[in-house]
Structure 1
Amino acid sequence: MKQINVLRLTLVVALGGLLFGYDTAVISGATQALQVYFSLSPAQLGFAAASALIGCVVGAAVAGFLSSRYGRRGALIIAAVLFLISAIGSAIAGSEVVFIIYRIIGGVGVGIASMVSPMYIAEISPAEKRGGLVACNQFAIIFGMLVVYFVNYGIALMGPESWLNQIGWRYMFGSETIPAVLFLILLFSVPETPRWLAMQGRDDQARQLLKGLNPTLSIEPLWDDIKASLHHKSVSIKEQGLTGLLVIGILLSVFQQVTGINVFLYYAPTILKGFSNSSIDIALLQTVLVGVVNLSFTVLAILTVDKFGRRPLMMIGAAIMSVSIIVIGTAAYLHAIGGYLLIFVLAYIAAFALSLGPVTWVLLSEIFPNNVRSKALSIAVLAQWVANFLVSQTFPMMNAKSSWIYQQFNGGFPFWLYGILGFVTVYFVYRFVPETKGRSLEQLEALWQRKEKKTTPGTSEQHHPVAH
């Protein structure tokens, strides 16, 4: 079989990540218009904006089944169709209820893509390049957010505010049809993953695909490892003694969220405006700077994750995040707010983009065994979306000036909380997460099987699970 360009496949599948970012961020430019057009109360607007998260939870819950039953590519095709339906439906919605229904449909697509895109990339990637290639999906998510910010800005310039409130917002949601159609068309040019084909007993196709993906290597050792990994007849995570591994995956997902990243991504203009007496326009400009730093350091993560490994990036990044956000909280508590805090915001964002952002997805896509990967990854990503929702909902409550917590701590408490959880993340990675750099997915599976009776969260033995 002729050589297959792994980078091309990665870029096509990473369009799912781009749509993930695009779909979740597109509403940011339309909230005021939606409130005016549908005459929404603040509570109704909040639900309309957050409704996509409901779909994300549903999508993550069903992604495991879809990717096992219809294949990784098949699940991504379903996600692409949902993105397209959501884009068209949201753009033509005539009522608040209809709009919310289509946003939920788009959220289901996001939930599916958020799990399946990194899993597909991990299953086709050579071990020595897997970290960087999977991290490309995180780059695509952030890039999708930046693209839609500029798209929304361009649409807003097309007419006066009255036009935006009546018609312009529909163009914002409708613009998603372009990347959705492109994603759907290009998916028909990519193959299934060799590991899914092997799970279906389609050995000849799987072997040919492996050879195309690894043209300079003998595939026999890798093929033997894949077949050996599929000998388990049961797909029960508990029966295979992998409950602890699932807990590690869930906690990796949760720690990525509870360290506060979406507080800055969702509420950056509000937070940044509070750091100085600048106008909201300046705060929005600073928000773009946050996005640029996020994107730039994600590129650095892509270039370094396979060189330095997962554990060092995770621990160093989480530590820098914690220090930065605790400084921000302390400045708030001491009434020492000022423009200088932008430095710590950017340091926090840079550290996340270098560590918990892309590397968490790398780890989640590679730590689970072949025959339970879809199910386990689906559960871990579901936990991530639930944690995302909880953080996004509780921050405004803790940061409301009328709240007891705000009055006691001058707005510093939530930042301290996220900082403490960041240090907990450092310890968690040091104590429980092994280095996975340079190992095939099957070698990692064997590693976990050897350690399943040793230390994992919820067990009692005191052994360090770091792989050397």
Structure 2
Amino acid sequence: MATHKGSVRHESSTLFVSLVAGIAAIGGLLFGYDQGVISGAVGFLQTQFQMNEGLLGFVSACIPLGAMAGVIIAGITSDKFGRKPILLAAGLLFVISSLGCAFTQTVAILILARIIGGLGVGVASLLVPLYISEISPARIRGRLVGTNQLGIASGIFVVYIVNAIIANTHTQNWDQTIGWRWMFGVGAIPGILFFILLFWVPESPRYLLKKGEQTEAKAVLERINGPFVAKAEMTAINAALRDESKSPGFVGELVKKGFKIAMLVAVVLAAMQQFTGTSAVAYYAPIIFKQSGAGANAALIETIMIGAIKVIFTIVLMLLVDRVGRKRLLMIGAAGMAICLIIVGGVFEATHIIGWLVLAMVLLHTVAFELSWGGGVWIVISEIFPTRIRGRAMAMASFVLWGATYLVTQFFPVLLKHAGSSMTFWIFALMCIIMFLFTWRMVPETKGKTLEDIQAEWDSMNLVKEQNFIG
């Protein structure tokens, strides 16, 4: 009978934490929607506001530009005020941005609204995986943090469908004057939903314990793991927090051997995630397909296929990551993406472009990305830092990620025009090869370990242990 009650309690706590993670992951959906909406609107915006390639790239790049500021703000404020209130602020930023883009009459207002959206994306990209990692049991943490990537993929999928419906159900003139405004405006709906549902989620128990709110933290941990596991986890977290009181501070932590390596791993993974070419494909998929011979409508439909692939294989990642491990998936994904990009570059180099082969390789690239670097990077970054510096350290890594996203987004159309399609994709392929080698040599495996276990490994690391850990 006791075993039955324990099983019921276990299932109940798993359902509770899954629901909380699902609500938080709506922030990832908004992240994906704001990233992907430009792919359907970009052609209409270029004509409407007479943009050259540089200005068009900048309008697209406003999201990562704003996100660079958003992650820094979120890293500082979430450590001071908590994860939940800053996520609520992100929801408002998404709504303001969507409506601002929808009603704009000038490029200046469009840029401002996109930057505001970027702030929200930056906050969500940092805090959603961080928050989920802090509320998740170790046994399913990878899967639950993966819901953030599922949210991102779902957001991109949804916006691709929205864009295709709007572009294919009205006249070209309506699309040019009104349609693109609807593409942006629809994003306000999930933004409002995210803001409302966040009132039902708890604050991070690790943040609560950090602030000395033992009773509230205990209640949350018991909902997550049950009373017996919660008691042991509270003991471990409180012990880690006592050690934090002896901490030399954020900068002092980062000069320690173990945490220097953790910061290096996080920063390089963050930058390399964008050098896979995924942002280029997400923002400019219709342009890529048009260059391979598809018509405008066909290009939008093929873009929806990318969105569907993202959702399906993000779910597969969630099922695999706690079994196969983070490191192995990152290596397999980097190798797969490199092969796809080399072939795509070769196709564009040929005198006759084979449209179906371009589509196949782009889809396989998307599969490889979603099975590895899409969610895997966020999972690793959210795990490898101690509570005392997690928000700020993740902010630094996320800042680098969005800086890399800005560079890719800003210069991809220019690179495509001046270097050509083949060289552009071969450059991304080279980046994937470098990613494979870095992961092989430097990235630790974190599956099945509690956040406190991972912290203890970094804390105890000396020079010899460093080599054993990263080898």
TM-score (norm 1): 0.90
Over 3 Å counting, the alpha-carbon distance change for 1:44 and 1:316 in structure 2 is: closer
Q: 1:283 and 2:299 equivalent? A: yes
2:63 is matched with: 52
1:443 is matched with: 453
Question: What is the distance in 2 between the residues matched to 1:13 and 1:286?
Answer: 29
Q: 1:294 and 2:306 equivalent? A: no
Q: 1:465 and 2:470 equivalent? A: yes
321-330 vs 246-255, greater mean Cα deviation: 321-330
Which of the residues 316, 321, 325 maps onto 2:332? 316
Which of the residues 124, 133, 137 maps onto 1:113? 124
Question: What is the distance in 2 between the residues matched to 1:38 and 1:414?
Answer: 27
Q: 1:239 and 2:252 equivalent? A: yes
Which amino acid counterpart does residue 311 of structure 1 have in structure 2? K
Which amino acid counterpart does residue 450 of structure 1 have in structure 2? S
Identical residues among aligned pairs (%): 38
Q: 1:416 and 2:450 equivalent? A: no
Question: What is the 5 A alignment of 1:43-82?
Answer: 43-82=54-93
Question: What is the distance in 2 between the residues matched to 1:397 and 1:434?
Answer: 37
Give the C-alpha shift of residue 80 in structure 1: 0.6
Give the C-alpha shift of residue 454 in structure 1: 5.1
Deviations for 1:266-293, whole angstroms, at most 9, x for unmatched residues? 2222223333x33233233222222222
Question: What is the distance in 2 between the residues matched to 1:324 and 1:67?
Answer: 39
Which of the residues 34, 39, 43 maps onto 1:23? 34
Give the C-alpha shift of residue 171 in structure 1: 2.5
- Between the two proteins, the alignment pairs up a number of residues equal to 453
SS of 2:26's equivalent in the other structure is: helix
Which amino acid counterpart does residue 112 of structure 1 have in structure 2? V
Question: What is the distance in 2 between the residues matched to 1:252 and 1:106?
Answer: 24
Contact 1:451 1:465 in 2 (8 A): no
Contact 2:69 2:119 in 1 (8 A): yes
Which amino acid counterpart does residue 282 of structure 1 have in structure 2? A
Over 3 Å counting, the alpha-carbon distance change for 1:18 and 1:153 in structure 2 is: same
2:371 is matched with: 354
Deviations for 1:316-374, whole angstroms, at most 9, x for unmatched residues? 11111112212222343454641324332222211111001111111111111110000
SS of 1:340's equivalent in the other structure is: helix
User: Quick one: higher RCO (CA 8 Å, sep 6+), 1 or 2?
Assistant: 2
Q: 1:305 and 2:321 equivalent? A: yes
Which amino acid counterpart does residue 459 of structure 2 have in structure 1? Q
Q: Which runs of 5+ in 1 are unaligned?
A: 457-461
Deviations for 1:429-461, whole angstroms, at most 9, x for unmatched residues? 1211111111111101111122264587xxxxx
Over 3 Å counting, the alpha-carbon distance change for 1:51 and 1:350 in structure 2 is: same
Which amino acid counterpart does residue 445 of structure 2 have in structure 1? E
Question: What is the distance in 2 between the residues matched to 1:264 and 1:226?
Answer: 41
Which amino acid counterpart does residue 343 of structure 2 have in structure 1? V
Contact 1:53 1:385 in 2 (8 A): yes
SS of 1:191's equivalent in the other structure is: coil
Contact 2:58 2:410 in 1 (8 A): no
2:145 is matched with: 134
* Aligned CA-pair RMSD: 2.2
Deviations for 1:239-275, whole angstroms, at most 9, x for unmatched residues? 2212221111000101111122222222222223333
SS of 2:200's equivalent in the other structure is: coil
Q: Which runs of 5+ in 2 are unaligned?
A: 1-8
Question: What is the distance in 1 between the residues matched to 2:134 and 2:105?
Answer: 42
Question: What is the distance in 2 between the residues matched to 1:336 and 1:45?
Answer: 29
Which amino acid counterpart does residue 257 of structure 1 have in structure 2? Q
Question: What is the distance in 1 between the residues matched to 2:74 and 2:353?
Answer: 44
TM-score (norm 2): 0.90
Give the C-alpha shift of residue 377 in structure 1: 0.2
383-392 vs 238-247, greater mean Cα deviation: 238-247
1:459 is matched with: none
